[in-house]
Amino acid sequence: MAKMAVSIVESGEDAFRKIFKYYKRRNPPPDFSDVIDFSRGVQSHKIAAAKLDPGAVRDLEAAGVGLKPVSDWRAFSLHGYPGFVFISNPFLLGSQPFWVRQCLKTYPQKPNVCNLDMHMSPSETQDIWGKSLQGLSRAPSGKNEPKTLLERLRWVTLGYHYNWDTKTYSANHYTPFPADLHQLSSQITAACGFPGFKAEAGILNYYRSDSSLGIHVDESELDHSRPLLSFSFGQSAIFLLGGTCRQDPPTAMYMHSGDVMIMSGQSRLLYHAVPRIVPAPQGHTSLDMESYSPASSPQDNTVVEQMPEQDWTVCSKYIQSSRVNVTVRQVLGTGQSFPETPSHPPSSRTEDQTDTYHDRPADGDGVKRKRSSSGDSDVVKA
């Protein structure tokens, strides 16, 4: 816990909110010196090397999704947070661009759901990438150009689509979860001691340099014994990990591009938030594609592949000022199913009936934030 931040908290108050506001503050800027940076290794007594199971994933399988051999991963645990694992960028050099492109070009495509669907027709949001290309490759004119759809993208949901209103998933709003992201997630969870993980729901959050994500707990999944995974790409974030109540002061840590977090066991239901996006430090933007070559003996399960240079030009420009976070969740336990919901008639929802979905509610953390009907406001978690 940041000494600086903890000293401003008085007993009995909402310590999380106070520290959230501290790190969000622009003027004067906060003191970042106590923010844990796992990329520096075990730099404090609060951090220990986490034990992984290198036998759970074959090196070739790992390479197929762009990961280093598990034996080369730098994984950490945090004192006081059992079940929390932080893996400092386990991606092979040059493989992140593939995942960034999936987040910007592939996953926002139908049938996945995004914030723009809340106030635009399916045909208008059909080709977010294609419709944004011209605007994104244009040189700045100095004029106030309208934002491209990609620049207005705030969230995408995959698999069981999260309903921000009811804070639930349901059997009748499901589209197939991307196979490549399932493969990536199941390898990481297997290495962390959770074989058989099923990636059933995903939330992608797109952050600009001034975005934040409110204080919340991810408890809508029906089986909390399964881990929750989080991937970060692009600019860095300050991530706050708290306790089971708002009075528990959170621990601040950096999430850099390529970093992966696993929240499981007692850490699965902890309060957390992203108060601030910070520029990626030198050395953490290793998103260059030159050194990437697909697995030397390509296998059927190789998902990471080279991409056209034009795609990378757009992606790299986007992430120079933005961060993308992907969380992957297993919603149902083995043999579990959704409870009956008599108030919602089954299978009546179609893509043009998205009115029960809207931009994230603004009451997530009690911190006031600007809202706009266009969905261009802060990333806000329910």
Ligand X SMILES: O=C(O)CCC(=O)C(=O)O
Cα–Cα nearest to 125, from 152, 99, 100: 152
Residue type, 232: S
For position 327 contacting ligand X by CB under 6 A, the verdict is yes
Considering only 77, 102, 183, 205, the residue that binds ligand X (CB under 6 A) is: 205
Among 213, 289, 295, 319, binds ligand X (CB under 6 A): 213
Least Å from the CB of residue 26 to ligand X:
20
Smallest distance from ligand X to CB 234, Å = 11
Planar angle of CA 43, 45, 49, nearest 5 degrees: 70
CA dihedral (172, 273, 181, 48) in degrees, to 10, reads: -140
The DSSP-derived string for 304-346 is -----HHHHHHHHHHHTT-EEEEEEE--S-TT--PPP-TTS-T
Query: Considering beta carbons, is residue 92 or 237 the nearer one to ligand X?
Result: 237
Which residue in the set 17, 226, 268, 272 belongs to the binding site for ligand X (CB under 6 A)?
Answer: 272
CB of 37 to ligand X, least distance (A): 15
- Which residues of the chain form contacts with Mn ion (CB under 5 A)? 218
Residue 216 is labelled as binding a ligand = yes
As a three-state string, the secondary structure of 167-216 is CECCCCCECCCCHHHHHHHHHHHHHCCCCCCCCCEEEEEEECCCCCEEEE
Candidate list 89, 325, 330, 354; residue touching ligand X; CB under 6 A: 325
| Cβ-count burial 223-243 (b if 16+ within 10 Å, e if not) | eeebbbbbbbbbbbbbbbbbb
Q: What is the CA radius of gyration of the chain?
A: 20
Least distance (Å) from ligand X to the CB of residue 60? Answer: 30
Contact status: 255 vs ligand X (CB under 6 A): yes
284 binds ligand X, rule: CB under 6 A:
no
Site residues for ligand X, window 221-250 (CB under 6 A)?
230, 237, 239
Taking CB positions, which residue lies at the least distance from ligand X? Answer: 325
- Closest separation in Å from C-beta 381 to ligand X: 6
Token couple for 279 = 């520029």
Which segments are annotated as binding site? Answer: 216, 218, 272
In the annotated binding site for Fe cation, the residues are: 216, 218, 272
* Site residues (vs ligand X, CB under 6 A): 203, 205, 213, 218, 230, 237, 239, 255, 272, 274, 325, 327, 381
